[in-house]
């Protein structure tokens, strides 16, 4: 080869030059490099927010009605899920569904109705959301995950509007306020940062219509950690009910009474309650708890929470111009405080196994005609009305007078106007209508119950 001759140039049989396209070789090598890199790196990993959404559940009733209740999310080592207590209500079991359609029936093992937190035991094998280690600040970007208005696995974005807002003065919690859009159904869903770390749990919205107006509240991850750990380990002290109603001593009240605008004016006490036992009465002004002055009306809840561990506190009250110190024993009634741990009853009431239609409130005439429906009966709650005619039960013609309902049934009925419709009748289901989801809206009434 002569000096300077290109390696990719040759000659054919007739002596003409031919070019070996070296660029093709380069392209093949580049493609092989890409293939190797893809094999080494593997498929693209999900974003932190996608991974967080994989740990979110929708919550449904575990009965035949299959009501949508709200949202929840996987916690800690993955052995439990967490939601709001008002989402699960008094249910012992709920049905959880993740974004991939996997569902399970799970036990509600603990709940605190005052702090509005519930813990649900779930099947192991997964990991929960990681708690954010840094406290969020004003203006930080956050993401709300959940099922607003039942629209499943929705993500909305907003910013922190306030970092420590006491929403209800009877509850010892200072919540995160943010403006990520949430609605009924979002309750119990996580609030996360851009890295998918848990910042809080969405719990309330500030509007009497129960629709989002730019103000939402979440229990902070720090408070949530303490509450959930306490519920699981059974170390969380129940929040005692004092048994009194009171109003803040604002400027108007203070001017009328001729006192300083500070403390809480007792409207009344519950007979047999802790406040009555301590000697409080209507007209007293609570000024301090255990020597700490009430700077804000909500300070009473935090003071009582701190004192509940010792089982007693001392209230400084103003009565007829005199200052009195009243010891208050903080004994608790678990049901009254809303703190419940799951207990298995050794003997449950026996469930009725079958019903005749007459026992369900249906008064029948000839030919399946409904001549009357008993008030507050399963039939009326199911939607059966006077004048309807029952055509079939579970798709079959039956002897209605002697038919035994042993499980939920589907009735085909014809209305007086001739239109037909199906009615689902379940004697063993709940009959209080669809329970509102979300709940816990902020209205700031003057008089509150402690």
Decide if pLDDT at 308 tops 80: yes
Kindly state the average pLDDT of the residues 419-442.
Answer: 58
Q: Which candidate, 370, 403, 401, 400, places its Cα nearest to that of 384?
A: 370
The percentage of residues in the chain with a pLDDT greater than 70, rounded to a whole number, is 80
- Across the range 415-419, mean pLDDT stands at 86
Distance separating alpha carbons of residues 341 and 337, to the nearest angstrom:
12
Pair of tokens at residue 94: 């709920």
pLDDT at 438: 33
pLDDT at 397: 92
Model pLDDT for residues 108-160, shown as the tens digit of each residue: 999 999 999 999 999 988 999 999 988 899 999 999 999 999 999 999 999 99
Average pLDDT, the chain: 83
Question: Is residue 337's pLDDT more than 80?
Answer: no
The DSSP bridge pattern shows strands 198-205 and 409-414 to be unpaired
Confidence of residue 428 (pLDDT cuts 50, 70, 90): confident
Would the pLDDT of 100 be above 50? yes
The predicted model gives 395-418 an average pLDDT of 89
Q: What is the pLDDT of residue 354?
A: 85
Q: In Å, what is the CA distance from 87 to each residue of 72, 239, 343, 344, 396?
A: 9, 20, 20, 22, 38
Residue 341 pLDDT > 60? no
Q: How confident is the model at residue 68 (pLDDT cuts 50, 70, 90)?
A: very high
Q: Which pLDDT does position 11 carry in this prediction?
A: 52
pLDDT surpassing 70 at residue 230: yes
pLDDT band at residue 36 using 50, 70 and 90 as cut-offs? low
> Any idea what DSSP says for residue 129?
B
Of 5-9, 81-85, 264-268, 332-336, minimum mean pLDDT range = 5-9
| pLDDT for the residue 80 | 96
Q: How confident is the model at residue 18 (pLDDT cuts 50, 70, 90)?
A: low
Q: How far is CA 388 from CA 220, 358, 359, 400, 414, in A?
A: 53, 15, 17, 14, 6
Q: What is the pLDDT of residue 127?
A: 94
Residue 248 has pLDDT above 60, yes or no: yes
Of the two residues 352 and 244, the one the predictor is more confident about is 244
Instruction: Tell whether the model's pLDDT for residue 289 goes beyond 90.
Output: yes
pLDDT at site 436 = 30
| Better pLDDT: 442 or 233 | 233
Does the pLDDT of residue 208 top 60, yes or no? Answer: no
Q: Which one is predicted more confidently, 23 or 439?
A: 23
pLDDT of 420 above 70 = yes
DSSP 7-43: TTEEE-TTS-EEE--HHHHHHHHHHHHHHHHHHHH-S
Mean pLDDT for the stretch of residues 38-51: 71
pLDDT value for 23: 62
* Residue from 414, 425, 317, 344 nearest 380 by CA: 425
HSE of 308, CA atoms in CB hemisphere, 13 A:
21
Max mean pLDDT range (27-41, 129-143, 257-271) = 129-143
State residue 441's pLDDT score.
36
Q: Is the pLDDT of residue 350 over 60?
A: no
pLDDT at 369 (0 to 100):
94
Do the bridges between strand 244-248 and strand 448-449 make them parallel or antiparallel, or are there none, so unpaired?
A: antiparallel
In the predicted structure, residue 449 carries a pLDDT above the cut 70: no
CA distance 10 to 16: 8
> Over 70: is that where the pLDDT of 16 sits?
no
Selected residue with higher pLDDT from 5 and 222: 222
The predicted pLDDT at position 207 comes to 65
Query: 120 pairs with which residues across the strands?
Result: 81, 108
């Amino acid at each position: 080869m002569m000096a300077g001759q290109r390696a990719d140039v040759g000659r054919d049989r007739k002596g003409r030059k031919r070019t070996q396209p070296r660029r093709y070789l380069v392209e093949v090598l580049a493609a092989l490099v890409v293939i190797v890199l893809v094999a080494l790196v593997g498929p693209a990993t999900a974003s932190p927010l996608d991974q967080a959404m994989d740990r979110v559940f929708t919550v449904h009733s575990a009965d035949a009605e299959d009501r949508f209740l709200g949202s929840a999310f996987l916690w800690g080592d993955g052995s439990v899920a967490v939601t709001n207590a008002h989402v699960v209500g008094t249910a012992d079991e709920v049905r959880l569904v993740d974004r991939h359609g996997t569902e399970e029936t799970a036990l509600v093992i603990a709940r605190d109705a005052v702090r509005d937190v519930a813990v649900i035991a779930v099947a192991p094998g997964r990991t929960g959301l990681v708690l954010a280690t840094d406290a969020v600040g004003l203006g930080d970007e956050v993401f709300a995950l959940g099922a607003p208005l039942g629209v499943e696995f929705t993500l909305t974005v907003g910013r922190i509007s306030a970092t420590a807002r006491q929403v209800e003065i009877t509850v010892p919690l200072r919540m995160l306020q943010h403006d990520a859009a949430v609605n009924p159904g979002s309750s119990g869903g996580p609030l996360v940062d851009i890295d998918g770390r848990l910042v809080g749990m969405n719990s309330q919205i500030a509007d009497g219509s129960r629709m989002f107006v730019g103000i939402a509240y979440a229990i902070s991850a720090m408070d949530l950690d303490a509450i959930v750990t306490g519920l699981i380990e059974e170390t969380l002290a129940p929040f005692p009910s004092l048994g009194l109603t009171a109003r803040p001593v604002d400027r108007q009240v203070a001017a009328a009474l001729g006192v300083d605008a500070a403390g809480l004016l007792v409207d009344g006490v519950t007979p047999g309650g802790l406040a009555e036992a301590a000697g409080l009465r209507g007209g007293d002004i609570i000024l301090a708890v255990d020597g700490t002055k009430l700077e804000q009306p909500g300070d009473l809840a935090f003071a009582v929470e701190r004192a509940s561990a010792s089982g007693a506190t001392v209230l400084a009250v103003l009565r007829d111009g005199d200052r009195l110190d009243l010891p208050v024993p903080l004994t608790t009634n678990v049901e009254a405080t809303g703190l419940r741990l799951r207990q298995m009853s050794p003997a449950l009431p026996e469930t009725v196994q079958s019903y005749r239609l007459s026992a369900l409130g249906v008064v029948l005439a000839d030919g399946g005609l409904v001549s009357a429906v008993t008030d507050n009966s399963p039939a009326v709650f199911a939607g059966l009305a006077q004048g309807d005619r029952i055509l079939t039960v579970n798709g079959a013609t039956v002897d209605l007078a002697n038919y035994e309902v042993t499980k939920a049934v589907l009735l085909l009925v014809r209305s007086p106007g001739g239109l037909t419709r199906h009615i689902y009748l379940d004697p063993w289901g709940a009959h209080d209508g669809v329970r509102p989801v979300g709940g816990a809206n902020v209205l700031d009434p003057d008089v509150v119950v402690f």
